[in-house]
Structure 1
Amino acid sequence: MSKTGLTEWGASLRLSDLSASRTHKFNIEPAAGQLQALADDLGIEAIRKVRFSGELRPLGQSDWRLVGEIGATVTQPCVATLQPVVTRIDEPVERNYLANFKELDAELTEDGETEIEMPEDDSSEALPAALILSDVAHEALLLALPPYPRAKDAELERTQFTEGGKEALTDDDVKPFAGLKALRDKLEKGN
């Protein structure tokens, strides 16, 4: 059996080739040339390093449990200032690959819409013919990325937009009681 899938980024690993009598450790890292391609695919500025390590544990005769950790240093633009924000990510990753995995049942509602009930256990999936650990790492990294990275001390400046000749709407104007305040001011002017 080739250990390539357990040590090489992007390599395919046939779980049926692994011995079901012991645990198999893995440790994969993309090569320097693959980091920018991974960053582009994730829609971020850069990735300094990525490491995905852990083990595949047999569950019975044909099922497998993946327990690992994704570690990465990523650079994303700040949502407020667009300055680069460097974030360290260290997240656990767990997956169960089951030979008798029950696919989700889709039902049609009265409106003709498709309704799918999601299972409580979102870490289980069907046993693949071949597992690509770098795909699991990619998914885990995508889920771990901060959705709104923010630079230290970043604040949004006050901006106002309006049509020419009209008064700009302010933050105070859109507050729930802004309309009552305007009415009060109008009534006071009338007196």
Structure 2
Amino acid sequence: MAGQDIHKLLDLEVRLSEVPKDGRSYEFDADQDAKEALVAETKLEDVKSFSGKITMRPFRGGYQAKGEGQAVVEQACVVTLEPVEEEVALAFERIYMPGKAPEPDVAPNAEVFVNLDSEPDQDWYEGDAIDLAPMVVETLMLSLNPYPRKPDAEFADLTEDERDESESPFAALAALKDKK
């Protein structure tokens, strides 16, 4: 069912009215349609499994999504282009705050300091529901090996072309020099 939205197929929309103070867990296990949609949306060769569990709980005026997952995917080897299977352990953590994301108050061409070791990623939501599927797919894609390689794959040795030196442009210049 290529062409379907992977976010709708994972069905991870959380109604905030259903999240109690102590939190609620949501599990997902991608079915065949969701796996095919994920392959169609990405550069993955195949998705063999994709599942996990996320707990949502109220947090500092918003909501925290935290959990774990696992996936088994195939990507093309960067050397041979043959499929390489990879098992991926996923760690989900995101803070959702009500409202719209604030516009950064930064002058053009100004330097911006970003502390990547601070708080977990923060997203904004409006309405009475939060869709966790975009965060789940994003986490999977960022957790993949960017250069998958079969264990025995090697680049072929590069050798110099064996040409007749008389064909070289430098040989033609040398011949002109010899005439003088």
Question: Do the aligned residues in 2 keep the contact of 1:35 with 1:48 (CA within 8 Å)?
Answer: yes
Question: Do the aligned residues in 2 keep the contact of 1:10 with 1:135 (CA within 8 Å)?
Answer: no
Are residues 1:124 and 2:122 paired?
Answer: yes
**TM-superposed deviation, 1:55:** 0.7
What's 2:96 paired with?
Answer: 97
**Paired residue secondary structure (1:53):** strand
What's 2:136 paired with?
Answer: 137
**Paired residue secondary structure (1:108):** coil
Tell me how far apart the structure 1 counterparts of residues 68 and 160 of structure 2 sit (CA, whole Å): 46
Tell me how far apart the structure 1 counterparts of residues 91 and 12 of structure 2 sit (CA, whole Å): 21
Residue segments in structure 2 that go unaligned for 5+ positions in a row = 1-8, 170-180
Change (3 A) 1:128 1:158: farther
Write the deviation string for residues 70-101 of structure 1: whole angstroms up to 9, x where unpaired: 21000001101111100000121111112378
Change (3 A) 1:166 1:157: farther
Q: What aligned pairs does 1:58-69 form with structure 2 within 5 A after superposition? A: 58-60=58-60, 62-69=61-68
**Paired residue secondary structure (1:33):** helix
The amino acid of 1:93's aligned partner reads: F
**TM-superposed deviation, 1:161:** 8.3
Residue segments in structure 1 that go unaligned for 5+ positions in a row = 1-7, 168-191
**TM-superposed deviation, 1:105:** 1.3
Tell me how far apart the structure 1 counterparts of residues 168 and 26 of structure 2 sit (CA, whole Å): 64
Q: What aligned pairs does 1:1-191 form with structure 2 within 5 A after superposition? A: 9-15=10-16, 17-60=17-60, 62-99=61-98, 103=102, 105-109=104-108, 113=109, 116-119=112-115, 120-129=118-127, 130-159=129-158, 165-166=167-168
**TM-superposed deviation, 1:29:** 1.7
**TM-superposed deviation, 1:107:** 2.0
Tell me how far apart the structure 2 counterparts of residues 82 and 10 of structure 1 sit (CA, whole Å): 33
Tell me how far apart the structure 1 counterparts of residues 19 and 140 of structure 2 sit (CA, whole Å): 28
The amino acid of 1:75's aligned partner reads: E
TM-score normalised per structure 1: 0.68
The amino acid of 1:13's aligned partner reads: V
* Identical columns (%): 23
RMSD: 2.8
Question: Do the aligned residues in 2 keep the contact of 1:105 with 1:117 (CA within 8 Å)?
Answer: no
**Paired residue secondary structure (2:10):** coil
TM-score normalised per structure 2: 0.72
